[in-house]
């Protein structure tokens, strides 16, 4: 690609405990409008990478550049204002608030009329429109995942980080969530898809990264990684201790 990366991570080291890094020199990039999958065994550092990009963890070494500016050391709300959204795997909605109130919370840094934004989300996710006055805690797992994505989209991010969006969902709901992810990407939003469902993620991704023990072991087109026997061998080793 000739365009500059929308996001570029270079030689990043980060972790939850001082002097005990989960990420050990990981590299990653995504271009405007791309859908890039991040896969790998349990404990490889996939979710840690997403949290570090979004400012929930601060790397002690390496660079993270978003839209041409370093975001290392910025807080998450500052990163949101620069055009990045993040949907964590758990605790991604306010369960005691209604669907509509959750969407309003998602636009907390925007001083604009919210109704047009909510209408866009309800058009994209009609089931949320039908349940707009319902408390989020009463929604199904798939509906909560849609609400979490809708909440992040209220800020119209140029980049959306999705951490394990298919986790704990039934096969039918997994299909629905992946269809929505594809539609969001088709509308122009770049997506970093952190996923344990490696095959589905690579099938829909333009490019992918395979992490192992905090390093980017493989990178390439999604279809190429999907058919690479070395990638299959690594991923099938997901039950090994890391």
Separation of alpha carbons 202 and 39, rounded Å: 8
Looking at residue 159, its pLDDT comes to: 98
Rounded Cα distance between 185 and 100, Å, is 23
Domain 7-236 coded CATH 3.40.50.300: yes
Phi and psi for 94 in degrees, rounded to 5?
Answer: -90, 105
Q: What is the DSSP letter of 6?
A: S
Q: What is the pLDDT of residues 201-218, one digit of tens each?
A: 999 999 999 999 999 999
Q: Are 73 and 66 in contact (CB under 8 A)?
A: no
What is the rounded (10 degree) CA torsion for 197, 142, 54, 222?
Answer: 30
Residue 241 has pLDDT above 50, yes or no: no
The label of the residue with tokens 């952190």 reads 194
Q: Report how far Cα 11 is from the mean position of its chain's Cα atoms.
A: 20
169, 113 Cβ separation under 8 angstroms: no
Q: From CA 202, how far away is CA 223, in angstroms rounded?
A: 6
Residue 98 confidence (pLDDT) above 80: yes
Per-residue confidence at 174, pLDDT binned at 50, 70, 90?
Answer: confident
Give the model confidence (pLDDT) of 188-204 as tens digits. Answer: 999 999 998 898 999 99
pTM of the full structure: 0.90
């Amino acid at each position: 690609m000739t365009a500059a990366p929308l996001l570029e991570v270079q030689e990043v080291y980060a972790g939850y405990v001082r002097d005990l890094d989960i990420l050990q020199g990981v590299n990653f990039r995504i271009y405007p409008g791309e859908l890039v999958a991040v896969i790998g065994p349990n404990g490889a550092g996939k979710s840690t990478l997403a949290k570090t990009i979004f400012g929930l963890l601060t790397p002690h070494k390496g660079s993270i550049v978003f839209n041409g500016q370093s975001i290392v050391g910025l807080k998450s709300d500052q990163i949101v204002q620069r055009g990045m959204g993040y949907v964590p795997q758990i605790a991604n909605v306010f369960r005691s608030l209604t669907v509509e109130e959750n969407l309003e919370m998602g636009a907390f840094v925007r001083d604009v009329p919210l109704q047009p934004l909510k209408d866009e989300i309800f058009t994209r996710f009609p089931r949320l429109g039908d349940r707009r006055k319902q408390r989020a805690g009463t929604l199904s797992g798939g509906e909560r995942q849609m609400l979490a994505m809708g909440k992040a989209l209220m800020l119209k991010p140029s980049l959306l980080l999705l951490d394990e969006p298919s986790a704990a969902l039934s096969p039918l709901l997994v299909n629905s969530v992946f269809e929505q992810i594809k539609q969001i990407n088709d509308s122009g939003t770049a997506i970093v898809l952190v996923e344990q469902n490696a095959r589905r993620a690579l099938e829909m991704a333009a490019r992918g990264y395979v992490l192992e023990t905090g390093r980017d072991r493989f990178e390439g087109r999604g279809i190429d990684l999907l058919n690479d026997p070395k990638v299959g061998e690594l991923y099938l080793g997901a039950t090994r201790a890391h």
